[in-house]
A and B are shown apart, each in its own frame.
Chain A
Amino acid sequence: MNPKRKKKLVLLSSMVAAVAVAVGLVLFALSENINLFYTPTQIAEGEAPVGQRIRAGGMVVEGSIKRAPDSLDVEFMVTDFEHEVVVKYSGILPDLFREGQGIVTMGAMNADGQFEASEVLAKHDENYMPPEVEAALKASGKTVSGESAVSAQ
């Protein structure tokens, strides 16, 4: 390679490396803001601000969904298998909302340490399978999400 080209190659590579480092530092500094939601552990440890609009995410605890008989009010618990948060919501839930499903919800913590949600989004995981396979898995006593769900029980 002739020296002029070599110089250019070095220059360009160092430019890309410098930009990568700069972007990396910015993203690292902003990582708290880039996270879409707070986990129940972060909320329990007081990392999430009280009274401000934030998002909380986690799995809906099995058997924790309580629906009001005469309104759309619903109350359920969200867990990351270490801590749990009570979520209160009034409105229509997405199709994928069910027990054991990952969700992300927007709202604010109230003074009682409960999360008052104004929006609930279902989070889909990376597992795909036909319904028959799921039925077979259930019959053999394994859960769909594998290890994480097993360790919670």
Chain B
Amino acid sequence: MAVKKDYKDQKLSEKLRDRKYYIPDSNPEFIKDVEKIGQTAAHMCYQCGTCTGSCPSAPRSSYRIRLFMRKSILGLEEEILTDPDLWLCTTCYSCTDRCPRDLAPTDAIMAMRNLAFKRDIIPRNFLQTVQLIYKSGHGVPNNDANRAARKRLGLDEEPETTHKYPEYLPGIRKILDHYRLKENADRILAQGE
């Protein structure tokens, strides 16, 4: 376990924080959860860096997908789930396409995000999408300007989706409610305000 230094000066305490890796600080189950959700054998990563070398987010940020793979193998759950970089993957799948170990680092990242959500760690925009879909069936719903344009094109103002057939919305809401997604989204968003 990392040595607890209860220095009175908080700044000094953080500056001199014990940075060693200690087995008790890690969660060996974490990698198993990642693999189960992501459906990929993440523990087989041999840290070649093909993923980071392929990553469009890496050159403009501190996001290193290879490090997420490494940390998940070491069970550094806390570090992973609280890292804001976790949300910088554009899911372009270039790393997955090129991974010589035939892993899907993208899906491992998605799994880590799923695990973060279980602890209410999730960017707000993701949850706003949930709310929009709950309301209208669409993540990007129709608007008046668009309705006018549709009319001009000879299309119905509302597309042939839940917009035109709102009778399908209860079914969608049932699915979302089954996973208590709307409820959780509302709750987490309210907490952040």
A and B physically associate: no
Give A contacts to B, CB under 8 Å: none
Give B contacts to A, CB under 8 Å: none
